[in-house]
Structure 1
Amino acid sequence: MELNSAKPGLLCSLEASQSQRTMYPYVTGTSVVALKYKDGILMAADMGGSYGSTLRYKSVERMKPIGKHCLIGASGEISDFQEVLRYLDELTLNDKMCDDGNSLGPKEIHSYLTRVMYNRRNKFDPLWNSLVLGGVKNGQTYLGMVTMIGVNFEDNHIATGFGNHLARPILRDEWREDLSFEDGVKLLEKCMRVLLYRDRSAVNKLQIANITEEGVTISQPYSLRTFWGFSAFINPTPGAQ
């Protein structure tokens, strides 16, 4: 059948079948929280994947190492994050093929991601993610983030999603430059516990990643100890904080 002689409804269905862009996020992950400590970067994310408002998946890994020096974490649409990882695989492969003795660091990869996200936003085909990029290279720690429309910054601590409202106040009060690894993990766990209590999309199964000059390590999934006996949980008061 020639398209010129096809009915309008058929043309619409054919055009829709050829569309490859993400019109709405379907399977999404919630907050990523990261901070600098005295030896590197710590990053935490739970493993929940929400299908709409349903917590459908409980083992979604949202933190991935990039090359030798970097780690990326993502909230938002999981399939779009997989597309970002494909871009980064091509980037690091091309960099390795140059064989010039140099490798991309976290600052360069963060700059690349800001261009990718802003370019896709300008084409009205955004990647529905907020990305956190951390790394250590030549003794310098770096932590930055970029949103789905290309807004980007770097800071000593970062959180996406509800973490930006619930975890950042805790980090502003308790973060310090000389945090040890143990204190940094405790601070991240405190943030993740608050998110578990307050964010319906959070699950009690998380991973914490450590980025140092030696490389990236990601913990096995584990659960936090929680307490649900607070009076506000048992007898909530409408309008109370």
Structure 2
Amino acid sequence: MHLNRGGRAADVQQDERELTDAVGGSGAMKTGTTSVGLTARNGVVLATDARATVNGGTFVENRNLRKITKVHPTAAMTLVGHIGPARAFARQLREEADSYEIRHGDPLSIESLATLAGNLVREHEIQNISPLIGGVDENGISVVAVDTAGGVIGEDFVATGSGMQLAYGVLEDRYEDDLSVDTAVRLAAKAVQSGVSRDTQSGDGVFIGTITADGVSIDGHDDFSDV
């Protein structure tokens, strides 16, 4: 499998189709997930596995769930936690960013996007999600983790989800400042693969989101050796 979506309207429509099909009307579907984000020289890389589970992670419901979605012309986020709240959160964040751009003629800054994400979590008391947001703008390159209390934490690299400890082991060992985007893609995939190897709620390939000043590209691979 190799997927590459372009265009904001196409991204929104694809996200809605995939998430609707995956949820199948059940808000209980979870993405235990290994999710990572890391900064590179000229961009950000996000990566997740492709598995979604139900019944406390004991049953694999979906093996091809794209858990990275575009929320801004040059930013994307991971979907970690319960699919229903994560889907609604991504939609609202994207709508707020689009509304700002329409009103002001320029995209929201990544710092403001991250602050908005934290405010939405806190104000609406959104539970059971722990997204990563990666973005690029004129002020720099950012990876931000949003916690369940609405806290916003910027890092050079970060991992979330049930496979995060395994992913952190790889990132802490191999991450370096000023990585090329291509090297960061391979490192992100290796970190997710580490989570998939031991975490039963993670599995079934990897999705990679590459974010640069030119936009967002999201690709899926069944086999880690293809990355």
Q: Which range, TM-score by smaller chain?
A: 0.7 to 0.9
Q: CA deviation at 1:154?
A: 0.5
Q: d(CA) in 2 for partners of 1:154 and 1:89?
A: 20
Q: CA deviation at 1:192?
A: 1.4
Q: d(CA) in 1 for partners of 2:140 and 2:77?
A: 17
Is 1:193 the counterpart of 2:196? The answer is no
Is residue 79–residue 87 contact of structure 2 (8 Å, CA) maintained in 1?
no
State, as a whole percentage, how many aligned pairs show the same letter. 21
Structure 1 gap segments, 5+ residues each: 1-24, 226-241
Is 1:51 the counterpart of 2:15? The answer is no
Q: d(CA) in 1 for partners of 2:107 and 2:151?
A: 25
Correspondence for 2:83: 78
* 1:15-34 correspondence runs (5 A): 26-29=28-31, 30-34=33-37
Q: CA deviation at 1:101?
A: 2.7
Q: d(CA) in 1 for partners of 2:165 and 2:200?
A: 14
Is 1:89 the counterpart of 2:94? The answer is yes
Q: Deviations over 1:33-80 (max 9, x none)?
A: 110111110110111110122111112111111221211112100111
Is residue 51–residue 63 contact of structure 2 (8 Å, CA) maintained in 1?
yes
* SS across alignment from 2:133: strand
Is residue 81–residue 130 contact of structure 2 (8 Å, CA) maintained in 1?
yes
What value does the CA root-mean-square deviation take over the aligned residues? 1.8
Correspondence for 1:114: 118
Is residue 93–residue 116 contact of structure 2 (8 Å, CA) maintained in 1?
no
Q: d(CA) in 2 for partners of 1:101 and 1:202?
A: 40
Q: d(CA) in 1 for partners of 2:174 and 2:205?
A: 24
Is residue 33–residue 163 contact of structure 1 (8 Å, CA) maintained in 2?
no
Q: CA deviation at 1:139?
A: 5.7
Q: Which has the larger radius of gyration?
A: 1
Q: How many residues end up aligned between the 2 structures? A: 197
Which structure 1 residue ranges, 4+ long, deviate > 6 Å from structure 2? none
Q: TM-score, normalised by structure 1?
A: 0.76
Is 1:168 the counterpart of 2:159? The answer is no
Q: Deviations over 1:3-41 (max 9, x none)?
A: xxxxxxxxxxxxxxxxxxxxxx72111121110111110
Is residue 42–residue 212 contact of structure 2 (8 Å, CA) maintained in 1?
yes
Task: From the superposition, tell whether residues 215 and 26 of structure 1 become closer, same or farther in structure 2 (CA, over 3 Å).
Answer: same
Q: TM-score, normalised by structure 2?
A: 0.80
Report 1 or 2 for greater relative contact order, CA contacts < 8 Å, sequence distance ≥ 6. 2
